[in-house]
C-alpha cells in the first residue's frame, strides 16, 4: 500500500513536469488567494488545496478588465461563465468537464470597425463541455447569461485532454495485478515508477466510441532525467472514462538503461567542471529603456508596428490586428488580421507495438499554450523584457494563472539593417550602415520531453519572421545493445544508438501556422504564385544562352494554391491587394519566404498521416471562415482526419479577390545523434512574411545610425 501511495505521488510530480500542471484550488474573491499553478503546481488539485497565496512578484489579475474586443477573458468573466454553465441542469451532474473556456471573438467586421474609446462588443465565451459522454460547444453571453449551442457537425474526435484525465490514467493501471506483476518482475521499485499518459491516435475499432489512452512507464531511480530510463515493451491501453485496463502489451524484457551521465542540471554536472565557465557574462544594455510600449496589457507598439497580443491555451500565442504605419503617409495600414500556431504533428518512425501510435498532435490533443512554462529571466529572455501572464481555466471552470508565459523584448545581435560603402575607385567617401534591431515575442512550451521555443520577430522594415526552436530531451527506446558492433548487419534500429541501451528514435516535427493576411484590408486579396522559369535566347539574340523569367499566376481556387516546395521549380508566393497599387502601378502585397523546412514522407493512407493531412503541402490558401482555425480540426483527440485543412481545401472554393487565409507548415526531420544526449542543443528554423511593393521605397531610410554618444561605455571587470 505504501508503494502504491508513493507511485501516485511520483505520477503527479511527473505530470507536472509533463506540463499538465494546471488544476488549481478554488478561487475565492480575495486577491491573496489567487493560485499560480506554475509555482505551486504540486498542490494544484481542487481536492487537496495547499498554497492559496499569490506568489511573490506575481501580477494581480483580479483588477483586469477588457479594453479591446480581442482581449482574453478576465478572471471575473471566467467566474461568471462558470456560474452560468453550472446553472444548466445537464452540466451540474457529476463528471461534467469543461475542456475549453476562451473568448468567443466577435465577428471580424465588428473588430475591424471598432475604434478605441468606443463601447466594446458583447463579451462572449466559447465553451467546450462534456457531460455523460456527450460533447457540447456553447456560446455564453457573459452579460445576459444567455447560452447558445453551436453545431459541430458529425466529425470524429474528442476535445483536448484534461489534467484529471492525465492523473487518473497514470494511477488506474495499479488496480491491475498483471501490470503490478510485470513492473516488479522487471526489478523496478514501485516507489521509483514514473508513468506518462500517451495519446493513442486512431487506428481502428479499438479506438472507436470510447476515449482511450496509452500509459508507458519509466524509472526515476538515481536521475531526474527519467526519459532516459524507459521500461521498454510495457504498454497499457486504458479506457479514460471507466478507468478500466483494456489491454496490456508486455513484450520482451529489455534492459533498463543506467542513470549515469543522464542528469543535465548545472548543479549536478561534474565532468570537465573546470571548463564550464568558458564564456564571460554578456548583456545588451538599453540606457534609455526599451523602445516598445504595451498599452492596456495587450496592445504592443514598437517602431512603426502595432498589434494585439494574447496568450491562448491551444495556440500558445495569438498575434492580431497587425498594422504598420506607412513612413510616407503616416497612415496605419493592415498587414495581418491574425497569426498563430494552429497545430503541431510529431510522428515517430518506429512501427513496433510499443511505438507505432506515437504520432502526437500537440495543440489539439494537449493544448500548446497549456504546456507553456514560465520563462526564465536573463536566460529565456534578456533584460528589459516585458512578461505577460496567461489566465486559463481548469476542468471545473476555475480560473488560474500561468505566470511569465510570454515575453516581449528588443534584440540586437550586431546584425545589419542595410549598408553601402563605395569602393576607392569611385573617389566617393561613402559608408552608410544601419544596425538591425528587432522586436521579439516569445513563448516556450514543454510538451513532456520536448521544448518548443516559438518567436514572432518583427523588423522595422516591415518583415515578420515566425521562428521555431526545438530543444529538451529525446523520447528514447530501450535497447539490449551497448555498442554498434553488437548489432546484426540486417537489423534496423529505427534510430541511433546514443548511449548504452538507449536508442534515439527517428521522428519529424511539423508546425502549421494560420496566417489571416489582410493586405490593406480584408477584401480583394489574392494569392499569386510567381514562377521562375528558364528561358532560352534566340540564335544570335545575345551572347547569353539562357535567363530566368518571372511568370505570375493568380490562384483562382483553393487547389491552385496547394503548394509543395521544390528546389528546382522555384517560386515566390505573394498575397496582394489587387485594388491597391503603388505609385508606379504594382499591386501592393506581402510574400511568404520559406526557410529550411521538411516535407512528410508518410503514405497518405497511413492513419496518422490521414489525421495530419494538413502537412501534405507546405502552403495552402483558403477563404476566410471563422470556423476553420485549427488545421487538424476542432476535435483532434482520436480524430480520423475528416475535419482537417486538407478536407476544407479540397472543396476548391474561390479565393481570388477574397478575404483569404494562408497556411504555412514548417518541418523538421530529426535523425538523433550522440550530441542530443542527454539533452538537445536548440535547433531552429523559420520563414519570413516580407513586404513586396507594399512601400514606395525602403521603409527604413530614415533610421539613424548608432553614435557613441548615444550608447553607454561599459568597463570590464578588473579580473578580466
CATH at 481: 2.70.98.20
Sign, CA torsion 607/608/611/616: negative
Instruction: Round to whole Å and give the CA distance between 461 and 695.
Output: 10
| Domain identity same for 555 and 671 | yes
Burial class for 669, CB neighbours closer than 10 Å (0-12, 13-18, 19+):
middle
Do 324 and 208 lie in one domain? The reply is no
For residue 269, tell me if it sits in a domain.
Answer: no
Q: What is the mean pLDDT of the chain?
A: 89
Please say if 481 is a catalytic residue: no
Percentage of the chain exceeding pLDDT 70: 90
In the structure grid, which three cell numbers stand for residue 16, read together? 507536472
Point out the least confidently predicted range of 80-89, 273-282, 419-428. 273-282
Do 250 and 300 lie in one domain? The reply is no
Question: Which of 239, 262, 285 corresponds to the end of one domain?
Answer: 262
Do 116 and 134 fall into the same domain?
yes
Q: In this structure, are 141 and 188 located in the same domain?
A: no
Q: Residue 716: inside a domain, yes or no?
A: no
DSSP category for residue 679: S
**Pairwise CA distance, residues 236 & 198, whole Å:** 10
CA dihedral 130, 131, 133, 135 (to 10 degrees): -40
C-alpha–C-alpha distance, residues 562 and 616, integer Å: 9
Distance of CA 69 to the CA centre of its chain: 23
- Residue of 433, 435, 443, 378 whose CA lies nearest to 404: 443
Asked if residue 4 has pLDDT above 50, the reply is no
| The last residue of a domain, from among 221, 245, 262 | 262
- Among residues 98, 120, 152, the one where a domain terminates is 152
The answer, yes or no, to whether residue 718 has pLDDT greater than 70, is no
pLDDT value of position 271 = 61
Q: Are 570 and 610 in contact (CB under 8 A)?
A: no
Answer yes or no: is 395 within a domain: yes
What values do phi and psi take at 78, rounded to 5?
-65, -40
Name the β-bridge partners of 131. Answer: 134
Q: Which of 499, 444, 489 is nearest to 467 (CA)?
A: 444
Q: How far apart are CA 216 and CA 591, in angstroms?
A: 44
Q: What are the Cα distances from residue 526, in Å, to 131, 336, 579, 664? A: 43, 14, 10, 16
- pLDDT per residue as tens digits for the range 107-143: 999 999 999 999 999 999 999 999 988 999 999 999 9
Supply the pLDDT for residue 616. 98
List pLDDT tens digits, range 554-602: 999 999 999 999 999 999 999 999 999 999 999 999 999 999 899 999 9
Residue 404 pLDDT class (50, 70, 90 cuts): very high
Contact 577, 694 (CB under 8 A): no
pLDDT tops 70 at residue 8:
no
Residue labelled with grid coordinates 493576411: 517
Q: Which of 192, 312, 362, 389 is catalytic?
A: 362
Contacts of 400 (CB under 8 A, 6+ apart): 22, 23, 24, 27, 35, 36, 37, 44, 391, 392, 393, 394
Domains: count for the chain: 3
Residue 715, pLDDT score: 67
Which residues, listed in sequence order, are joined to residue 572 by a DSSP beta bridge?
Answer: 530
Same domain for 58 and 182? no
In a domain, 290, yes or no: no
pLDDT at site 273: 58
211 & 313 share domain: no
Instruction: Reply yes or no on whether 71 is catalytic.
Output: no
Does some domain include residue 271? Answer: no
Nearest to 69 by CA among 279, 242, 296: 296
pLDDT on residue 275: 55
- How far apart CA 154 and CA 719 sit, in angstroms, is 70
The C-alpha R_g of the chain, in whole angstroms, comes to 27
For the chain, the first-to-last Cα distance in angstroms comes to 59
CATH number at residue 192: 3.10.450.40
In the 8-state DSSP scheme, what is residue 304?
T
Q: Which of 337, 450, 510, 624 is catalytic?
A: 450
Structural domain containing residue 28: 2-32+162-262
β strands within 521-563, DSSP E: 525-536, 546-554
Which pLDDT score is estimated for 511?
A: 98
Cell of 287: 540606457
Is the per-residue pLDDT at 35 higher than 60?
no
Q: Are residues 175 and 318 in the same domain?
A: no
| C-alpha to C-alpha distance for 20 and 11, rounded to whole angstroms | 12
Q: Which three cell numbers stand for residue 403?
A: 505566470
| Same domain for 679 and 620 | yes
Largest Cα–Cα separation, the chain: 92
Determine, yes or no, domain membership for 599: yes
Please state whether the peptide bond connecting residue 678 to the residue before it is cis, i.e. omega within 30 degrees of 0: yes
Per-residue pLDDT at 716: 62
Question: Does residue 40 form part of some domain?
Answer: no
**Same domain for 536 and 491?**
yes
- Predicted local distance difference test score (pLDDT) of residue 207: 79
How far apart, in whole angstroms, are the C-alpha atoms of residue 137 and residue 282? 50
pLDDT at 26: 37
pLDDT of residue 712: 74
Residue 312 has pLDDT above 50, yes or no: yes
Q: Are residues 173 and 119 in the same domain?
A: no
Confidence of residue 274 (pLDDT cuts 50, 70, 90): low
| Mean pLDDT score, 688-717 | 88
Q: Pairing state of beta strands 476-478 and 464-472? A: unpaired
Question: Does 426 fall in a domain?
Answer: no
Task: Mark whether 449 and 484 lie in a shared domain.
Answer: yes
Amino acid at each position: 500500500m505504501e508503494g502504491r501511495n508513493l507511485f501516485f505521488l511520483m505520477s503527479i510530480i511527473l505530470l507536472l513536469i509533463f506540463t499538465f500542471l494546471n488544476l488549481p484550488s478554488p478561487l475565492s474573491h480575495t486577491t491573496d488567494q489567487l493560485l499560480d499553478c506554475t509555482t505551486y503546481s504540486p498542490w494544484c488539485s481542487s481536492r487537496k488545496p495547499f498554497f492559496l497565496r499569490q506568489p511573490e512578484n506575481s501580477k494581480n489579475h483580479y483588477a483586469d478588465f477588457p479594453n479591446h474586443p480581442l482581449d482574453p477573458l478576465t478572471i471575473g468573466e471566467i467566474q461568471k461563465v462558470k456560474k452560468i454553465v453550472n446553472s444548466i441542469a445537464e452540466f451540474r451532474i457529476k463528471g461534467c468537464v469543461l475542456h475549453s473556456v476562451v473568448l468567443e471573438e466577435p465577428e471580424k467586421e465588428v473588430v475591424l470597425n471598432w475604434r478605441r474609446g468606443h463601447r466594446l462588443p458583447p463579451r462572449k465565451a466559447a465553451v467546450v463541455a462534456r457531460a455523460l459522454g456527450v460533447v457540447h460547444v456553447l456560446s455564453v453571453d457573459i452579460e445576459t447569461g444567455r447560452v447558445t449551442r453551436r453545431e459541430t457537425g458529425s466529425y470524429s474526435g474528442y476535445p483536448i485532454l484534461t489534467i484529471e484525465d492525465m492523473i487518473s490514467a497514470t494511477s488506474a493501471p495499479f488496480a491491475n495485478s498483471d501490470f503490478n506483476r510485470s513492473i516488479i518482475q522487471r526489478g523496478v521499485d514501485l516507489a521509483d515508477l514514473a508513468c506518462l499518459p500517451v495519446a493513442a491516435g486512431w487506428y481502428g475499432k479499438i479506438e472507436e466510441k470510447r476515449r482511450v489512452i496509452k500509459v508507458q512507464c519509466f524509472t526515476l531511480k538515481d536521475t531526474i532525467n527519467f526519459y532516459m530510463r524507459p521500461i521498454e515493451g510495457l504498454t497499457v491501453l486504458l479506457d479514460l472514462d471507466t478507468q478500466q485496463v483494456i489491454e496490456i502489451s508486455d513484450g520482451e524484457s529489455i534492459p533498463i538503461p543506467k542513470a549515469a551521465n543522464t542528469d543535465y542540471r548545472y548543479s549536478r554536472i561534474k565532468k570537465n567542471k573546470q571548463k564550464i565557465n568558458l564564456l564571460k557574462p554578456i548583456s545588451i544594455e538599453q540606457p534609455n529603456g526599451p523602445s516598445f510600449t504595451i498599452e492596456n496589457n495587450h496592445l504592443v507598439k514598437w517602431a512603426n508596428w502595432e498589434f494585439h497580443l494574447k496568450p491562448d491555451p491551444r495556440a500558445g500565442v495569438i498575434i492580431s490586428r497587425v498594422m504598420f504605419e506607412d513612413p510616407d503617409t503616416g497612415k496605419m495600414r493592415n498587414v495581418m488580421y491574425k497569426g498563430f500556431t494552429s497545430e503541431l504533428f510529431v510522428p515517430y518512425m518506429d512501427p513496433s507495438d510499443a511505438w507505432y501510435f506515437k504520432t502526437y498532435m500537440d495543440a489539439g490533443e494537449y493544448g500548446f499554450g497549456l504546456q507553456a512554462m514560465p520563462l526564465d529571466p536573463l536566460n529565456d529572455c534578456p533584460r528589459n523584457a516585458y512578461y505577460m501572464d496567461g489566465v486559463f481555466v481548469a476542468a471545473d471552470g476555475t480560473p488560474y494563472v500561468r505566470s511569465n508565459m510570454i515575453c516581449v523584448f528588443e534584440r540586437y545581435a550586431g546584425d545589419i539593417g542595410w549598408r553601402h560603402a563605395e569602393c576607392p575607385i569611385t573617389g566617393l567617401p561613402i559608408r552608410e550602415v544601419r544596425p538591425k534591431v528587432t522586436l521579439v515575442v516569445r513563448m516556450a512550451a514543454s510538451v513532456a520531453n520536448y521544448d518548443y521555443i516559438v518567436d514572432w520577430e518583427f523588423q522595422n522594415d516591415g518583415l515578420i519572421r515566425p521562428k521555431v526552436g526545438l530543444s529538451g530531451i529525446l523520447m528514447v527506446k530501450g535497447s539490449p545493445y551497448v555498442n554498434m558492433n553488437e548489432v546484426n548487419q540486417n537489423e534496423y534500429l529505427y534510430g541511433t544508438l546514443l548511449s548504452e541501451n538507449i536508442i534515439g528514435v527517428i521522428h519529424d516535427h511539423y508546425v502549421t501556422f494560420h496566417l489571416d493576411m489582410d493586405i490593406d484590408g480584408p477584401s480583394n486579396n489574392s494569392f499569386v504564385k510567381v514562377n521562375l522559369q528558364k528561358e532560352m535566347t534566340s540564335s544570335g539574340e545575345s551572347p547569353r544562352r539562357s535567363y530566368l523569367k518571372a511568370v505570375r499566376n493568380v490562384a483562382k481556387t483553393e487547389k491552385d494554391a496547394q503548394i509543395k516546395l521544390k528546389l528546382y521549380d522555384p517560386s515566390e508566393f505573394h498575397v496582394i491587394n489587387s485594388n491597391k497599387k503603388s505609385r508606379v502601378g504594382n499591386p501592393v502585397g506581402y510574400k511568404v519566404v520559406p526557410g529550411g523546412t521538411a516535407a512528410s514522407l508518410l503514405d497518405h493512407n497511413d492513419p496518422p498521416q490521414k489525421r495530419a493531412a494538413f502537412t501534405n503541402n507546405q502552403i495552402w490558401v483558403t477563404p476566410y471562415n471563422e470556423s476553420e482555425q485549427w488545421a487538424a480540426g476542432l476535435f483532434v483527440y482520436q480524430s480520423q482526419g475528416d475535419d482537417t485543412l486538407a478536407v476544407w481545401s479540397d472543396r476548391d472554393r474561390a479565393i481570388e479577390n477574397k478575404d483569404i487565409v494562408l497556411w504555412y507548415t514548417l518541418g523538421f526531420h530529426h535523425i538523433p545523434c550522440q550530441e542530443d544526449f542527454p539533452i538537445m542543443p536548440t535547433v531552429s528554423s523559420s520563414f519570413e512574411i516580407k513586404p513586396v511593393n507594399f512601400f514606395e521605397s525602403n521603409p527604413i531610410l530614415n533610421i539613424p545610425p548608432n553614435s557613441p554618444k548615444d550608447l553607454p561605455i561599459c568597463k570590464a571587470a578588473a579580473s578580466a
